[in-house]
Amino acid sequence: MSDIGEWFRSIPLITRYWFAASIAVPFIGKLGLIDFRNLMLFSELVFSRFQIWRPVTATFYFPITPNTGFLYLVNLYFLYHYSTRLETGAFDGRPADYVFMLLFNWICIVVSSHPHPDLLMIPMIMSVLYVWAQFNKDMIVSFWFGTRFKAHYLPWVILAFNFIIGGSFVNELTGNLVGHLYFFLMFKYPMDLGGRSFLSTPEFLYRFFPNRRGGVSGFGAPPSRRPAPQEHAGGGGGGGGGGGRHNWGQGFRLGGE
């Protein structure tokens, strides 16, 4: 048990709480302590009865059944793996910026899912995975069955994979599009295309989540280019640094395997 405790405490703070909630909430529902099945009444409950916590519980909830258990475990692994890599890589020492990314993605997913949300857990995870893939777009990742390709394609491969085992791709597509919107507005448009910056982390988040290293808030100028390493990822990809044709994000190294 001590090994499990040490492993859990080694998970970066924000990912740790997200990961724990994504285990606790589904199992609370599975045990029948709280009935989450009426999450599908999202529009009525939130906007008519003002039960504003519904979008939050929908983010962590997943209906665990014999048919969905494997899909749940796969996405739980993606959450742990890619959120950890992103929080300790591109956002290392900048928890406020990482929280802002999660909040921005979450709001976009909630708005795009209204009035008929399905499961907000999957699009949230996919939005984070998409951002990670953009920071590491030229990294060669190994997926299941020995397939190898650039990380840039990983979100779309996982979309197809989840469609095969789960029968739907709407949640994955929503996450990919939201992740693309965040990355484009925060990095590609202002840094690569020379446009104005539309997104910036609110100052109050820096008061709650101060930077752990010296320097100004935010990301500043894009770092210099680094060569792209290779990576093995039996569950669909993993950590490591990123390379690419563009300057944005090229100097981030996401916890090399």
For 114-132, the pLDDT digits (tens) are: 655 557 899 999 999 999 9
Confidence of residue 56 (pLDDT cuts 50, 70, 90): confident
- Which CATH fold would you assign to the domain 3-208? Rhomboid-like fold (1.20.1540)
Residue with the bigger pLDDT between 96 and 227: it is 96
Question: Alpha helices of the chain — where are they, by DSSP H?
Answer: 2-10, 13-30, 42-43, 54-60, 69-87, 95-113, 121-135, 154-166, 170-183, 203-208
**pLDDT of 242 strictly over 80:** no
Tell me which DSSP letter residue 120 carries.
S
- What's the CA gap between 113 and 91, in Å, rounded? 27
**pLDDT of 255 strictly over 50:** no
* Termini Cα distance of the chain: 25
